Amino acid sequence: VALEWAAEMTDKSPTAIRMLKYAFNMTDDGLVGQQVFAGEATRLAYMTEEAQEGRDAFLEKRDPDFSQYPWHY
């Protein structure tokens, strides 16, 4: 089950996963800090080519291809 979950996660947007990880780790700022960070991170994510691929795939009713976007910079 864990390997299936990991395989599913690697098909998702690397930037979105990275931003979520950062938001979840912001415990020092409390819940409000996390909410603000997540909102800003989401806003920024909509400006990337990666986000455009996700949106276009959804509108075209196809699976997104995030393989061209790196997991690490």
Full-model pTM: 0.50
Distance CA 50, CA 46 (A): 8
CA 16 distance to own-chain centroid: 1
54-70: per-residue pLDDT in tens? 999 999 999 999 888 87
Place of tokens 């947007």: 13
- Give the CATH number of domain 2-59: 1.10.12
Please report how many Cα atoms fall inside a 13 Å half-sphere around the Cα of residue 1, on the Cβ side.
0
Choose the most confident range, by mean pLDDT, from 21-30, 36-45, 48-57, 58-67: 58-67
Evaluate whether 73 touches 19 at the Cβ level (below 8 Å): no
